[in-house]
Chains A and B, each alone.
Chain A
Amino acid sequence: MSKPTDLVQGTLDLLILRTLTHEPMHGWGVAQRIRIVSNQVLQVRQGALYPALHRLEQQGWIRAEWGDSENNRRAKFYSLTKAGQKYLQKEQANWARLSSAIGLVLDEARS
């Protein structure tokens, strides 16, 4: 297994919020989802995931509820709040601008 790509500070928050836009999910689900969607490239260190989830909850971007999951196991489900959606849109726009800017610099350097 290759060493997981270090996530830029703050990117993890963005990934979690984006993942939660579809449906409420529990922590393990979020980690799996990120891995699968990123074609196994992004491996969220599980030790870092929970502090991030708790931080986002404290900041009011996401909300947590206990619920039953598949095969009747109880789990803590996280969902995006209204404020979280707004925040995500803003951050996504920021990210797009940042990555395209980096892309421009890299492209120019190549040519």
Chain B
Amino acid sequence: MRWLTKISLRMRSLFHRRAADEELDAELRSHLERQIAANVSAGMSVAEARRAAMREFGGVEGVKEECRDMRKTNYILDLAQDVRFGLRMLLKNWKLASIAAFSLAVAMALSVAGLSVFNGIMLRPPLATAPEQLVSIFAASAGGEVHNVSYPDYEYYRDNNHSFSGLAAFPQEIGLRPMTVGGTDETGTVESVSDNYFEVMGIRPSLGRLFVPGDDGKRVPEAILTYSGWKRWGADPKIVGKTVELAQQRRTLTIVGVAPKDFTGVVFGFSADVITTLAGNSQAFIQRNNRWLFLIGRLKPAVTQQHVRAEMQTLLGQLAAAYPKTDKDLAVVVTPAKVLPSDARSTAELISAVLMGIVLMVLLIACANVANLLLGLATGRKQEMLIRAALGATRKRLIRQLLTESAILCALGGAAGFLIASVALAQFSQFSALMPLLGTFHFEVNFRTNETVLLMTLALIFIASVATGLTPAIYASATNVAGALSGEAVVGGTHKSYIRNALVVIQVAVCTLVMVGVGLCVRSLQNLKDVNLGFSTRNLAAVMIDLQSNGISEARGLNSYRQLKQAALQLGGAQSCSLAVELPLIDSDWSTDGIRVEGASDAAHWTQIPVNVVDGDYFTTLGIPLLRGRTFNSSDAKKSPEVVLINHEMAETYWRGANPIGKQMRVQSGNRVLTVVGVVGDSKYNTVDETVHPVIYYALSQHYQPALLLAVRTQGDPRLWVQPLSKMVRGFGLQLDGPPFTFNDIMYFSLLIPILTLRVVSALGALALMLAVLGLYGAIFYSVNERKREIGIRVALGAQPFHLLKLFLRQAALISGAGVSIGLFLGVAATILFRSQFYGIRDVDLHVLIPVALAMVLVSMAIAYTAARPWVKVNPMEAIRHV
């Protein structure tokens, strides 16, 4: 029962504190009265008796405080008192406090958003029941390059493993297609999954049923609507049994069910409408070198990841032995399943690491701001601290109180930041965007603030409170009671100004570092824009033509192509046009052929070289110069000897300046002989930032292609040709696989990531700069304020405003100079670390460093001038008053 007594006593001292205190008072008073009475009866005078009693008892207030401490509830009461007092202090200095809280709120909002994105991308498992049992499987080559899995390999894994209760596969492909849903024409996004996907993931339907194993092979193909697709198309409760017609593929699918609300599809970031099975009879289901599938498996109970790895490696070994051509030299990688596909993870890791780094730097600047503010306040409160110490407050108690104040600031800033970030993330978690080439897509990124993020935020707030509060607290609580009581002046010592200057140096350095980052992005983007592409993107429009899916065979195809080209040239203002399998910068992955050149150093084995199939007008249309020989012409027919054009790099690699015209090479498939008839200039093929590599061009007249791109060089704005082009193609009775596009779109698209990176980094840089400016201003303002006396004396001795200004500006120049130097040094280190992510950047890139350094120095001097000016202009009479 003792604990009951204890609790009731604690409660009493918490909630009836006044009564408890009054009792304590009465008890001690009655003690003293008794003692006095005893002393009087021992023969002392009343006054003497009182004095003796008091002396014997000791400090009454001290005893009272000790008795209160015995109640053990003082921590709570002290905390409440500290919070109340802290709030009062902050309200009194509300201007500075709100600057500090605002700095923190901005930085915390960024941190929370950053953490949520990081959590959403890197940590979140895909939607599934018991996602911790899921692993994703992919293959990696010796160089660490990530490969996905081909369909036949997937089948082998699925049917021969003993580790998984289910192994599902899906491509990371999403297509926007015209379709007819239950009789109405719509446009929707289509994704596909293997028939066991929903079973493996443990996802339950919200209507009808989802796919079950065996659906892949069904004669009548099936489809599932996602919840958002179903909703958008009228939320028909009787949708099951109706059909989806995909016009281009000429497929009619029966809808069997609707997926649950949380399921947005298998491609990260996109919101899908229709999910189909993997059924199909295209080449992709037979080819072992066509690695288009992502694998996700559910582990059987008690199967460890090591065990899976070992088993999958064994299975891959069996495949490699059976199909050495395609499956050799690969290692299996098994990782816990995440929403992000395996091949995007390393890029995402890098991007999120860099962004989190910058975000933390912004937070650091904000913390320095708050620390500086508190330090400023602490100076003004030295007197207060002395009085408290003189009244018996211990140093621990003083530090606790000051830390409470910084904790209040950080909690306010953190809460505001969390709120801002939550609202902002909710705003941007779903959006639609029109993508060039493709159409309007619905995105669903779902970066929500959740418990994980909340916990990390609380940790950040705690760290920030200690980081911002400890130095000022230790400084302010270092009291010298005896010195102060004997009349020693209480002014800020030099010690504190070191701390403050160090804080500002850190701010300027970090800000400079972030600015160097902005500079690198700007410069890299500029370099990318200035790259010599090797072909002309001006006034170039193109459209994809798929004869096969339109049911046109090879026999009629060549004729159709000829007619299409003629029709394109009839369009007013079309200068030239060409048909090709690949156009530069559209496809990041050209197909390759194994090539062997007689007499070359690597003639011992087949070298894979990217190939394109083009017609004779390709080079004039794209503006690629013909350096030697001829382009394809009508003599290059199906039956005549096979000819190729090569690019300059290929000529240099294999013939080193000798004339390659007429030289021959062998191609792996069929061991055919190819004869070089011409050399064309190098250009960019896959990406803007690639290095030049050999390329071979085949003649379209010798290699019929069932699907091609038609490129048209126009006069004037190519966008004006988009409509006529699609009308012309439709005029031939052909379905368009996608709308025509211009190379302006392509260029924008291929620079999208650097452009977006630049925007994000610039926004962060602007914030960092703003916070650093606030910090610098505050620091200089305070340090001038502190030197009021000195200014007064100097003015009294005849100092002119000019002299004073020089004094302050010199101080500011020293501080910002140190900060900028450190920042530039860190910037160079960061450049070296991340150089591979930028284009055309040197280790010490003066084009970046010099402007950043100049800007930072100028900005800080301007701030110093603004902060110091009011003091410099002060009237001498006014100044002397502070002495």
Contacts and interface: CB of A to CB of B under 8 A. Distances in A.
A50 B68 CA distance: 10
Contacts of A45: 58
Contact of A28 (B10, B35, B67): B35
B60 to A, nearest CB: 9
A58 B63 contact: no
Interface string A12-31: 00000000000000111000
B304 interface: no
A26 B5 CA distance: 20
Contacts of B5: 60, 63, 81
Given A28-B35, A47-B57, A59-B6, A54 B28 contact: no
B23 to A, nearest CB: 7
Contacts of A63: 5
A75 B26 CA distance: 8
Contacts of B57: 46-47
B71 interface: yes
B30 A60 contact: no
Contact of B67 (A54, A75, A81, A83): A54
Contacts of A81: 2, 5
Interface in B153-178: none
A26 B9 CA distance: 19
A83 to B, nearest CB: 5
Contact of B9 (A57, A73, A76): A57
Contact of B27 (A27, A55, A60, A83): A27
Contacts of B33: 73
B67 A50 contact: yes
Contacts of A66: 23
A45 B67 CA distance: 14
B63 A28 contact: no
A10 interface: no
Given A47-B57, A50-B63, A51-B63, A58 B70 contact: yes
A45 B62 CA distance: 14
A81 B6 CA distance: 13
Given A54-B67, A83-B2, A47 B59 contact: yes
B878 interface: no
B488 interface: no
A96 B59 CA distance: 35
Contacts of A60: 2-3, 5-6
B72 interface: yes
B56 interface: yes
B9 A28 contact: no
Interface in A41-76: 45-47, 50-51, 54-55, 57-60, 63, 66, 73-76
Contact of B70 (A27, A28, A51, A75): A51
Contacts of B70: 51, 54-55, 57-58
B21 to A, nearest CB: 12
Contacts of A58: 6, 9-10, 70-72
B690 interface: no
A47 B62 contact: yes
Which one of B5, B56, B72 has the greatest number of beta carbons of chain A within 10 Å?
B5
B34 interface: yes
The listed residue with most B CB atoms (<10 A of its CB), out of A28, A57, A63, A73, is: A28
A57 B741 CA distance: 86
Contacts, number: 67
Nearest to B6: A60
A73 B58 contact: no
B236 interface: no
Interface in B46-74: 56-59, 62-63, 66-67, 69-72
Contacts of A59: 2, 6
A76 to B, nearest CB: 5
A38 to B, nearest CB: 17
A74 B25 CA distance: 13
Contact of A50 (B9, B10, B27, B71): B27
Interface size class of A (residues with CB under 8 A): 20 to 34
A66 B27 CA distance: 9
B31 interface: yes
Contacts of B1: 83
B294 to A, nearest CB: 64
B56 A46 contact: yes
A74 B23 CA distance: 11
Contacts of B6: 58-60
A26 B66 CA distance: 18
Greatest chain B CB density within 10 A among A76, A81, A83 is at A76
Contacts of A46: 31, 35, 56-58
Contacts of A74: 26, 30
A26 B27 CA distance: 9
Nearest to B56: A46
A34 B26 CA distance: 23
Nearest to B20: A54
A66 B63 CA distance: 20
Contacts of A75: 27, 30
B58 A51 contact: no
B708 to A, nearest CB: 90
B66 to A, nearest CB: 4
Nearest to B4: A60
A86 to B, nearest CB: 10
A5 B30 CA distance: 26
A49 to B, nearest CB: 9
A26 B67 contact: no
Given A27-B31, A58-B6, A58-B72, A51 B56 contact: no
Contact of B30 (A26, A47, A51, A83): A26
B66 A51 contact: yes
A97 B71 CA distance: 32
Interface in A62-111: 63, 66, 73-76, 81, 83
Nearest to A52: B70
Nearest to B5: A60
A73 B30 contact: yes
B160 to A, nearest CB: 70
Given A58-B72, A59-B6, A47 B58 contact: yes
A69 B71 CA distance: 26
A58 B12 CA distance: 11
Contacts of B27: 26-27, 50, 75-76
A46 B34 CA distance: 13
Given A55-B70, A58-B9, A58-B71, A50 B28 contact: yes
Contacts of B58: 45-47
Contacts of B31: 26-28, 46, 50
B720 to A, nearest CB: 89
A57 B71 CA distance: 9
A67 to B, nearest CB: 11
A26 B26 CA distance: 12
Contacts of B66: 47, 50-51
A80 to B, nearest CB: 13
Nearest to A63: B5
A43 B565 CA distance: 117
B69 A51 contact: yes
A51 B9 CA distance: 15
A46 to B, nearest CB: 5
Q: Which 7 A-B pairs rank lowest in CB-CB distance, beginning with the nearest?
A: A47-B58, A60-B2, A54-B70, A51-B66, A55-B70, A28-B34, A60-B5
Given A47-B66, A50-B63, 12 more contacts: A26-B30, A46-B35, A47-B58, A47-B63, A50-B28, A51-B70, A54-B71, A73-B33, A73-B34, A74-B26, A75-B30, A81-B2
28 contacts: A26-B31, A27-B27, A28-B35, A45-B58, A46-B31, A46-B56, A47-B66, A50-B27, A50-B63, A50-B66, A50-B67, A51-B63, A51-B70, A54-B67, A54-B70, A55-B70, A58-B71, A58-B72, A59-B2, A60-B2, A60-B5, A63-B5, A73-B34, A74-B26, A75-B30, A76-B26, A76-B30, A83-B2
Interface of B: 1-3, 5-6, 9-10, 23, 26-28, 30-31, 33-35, 56-59, 62-63, 66-67, 69-72
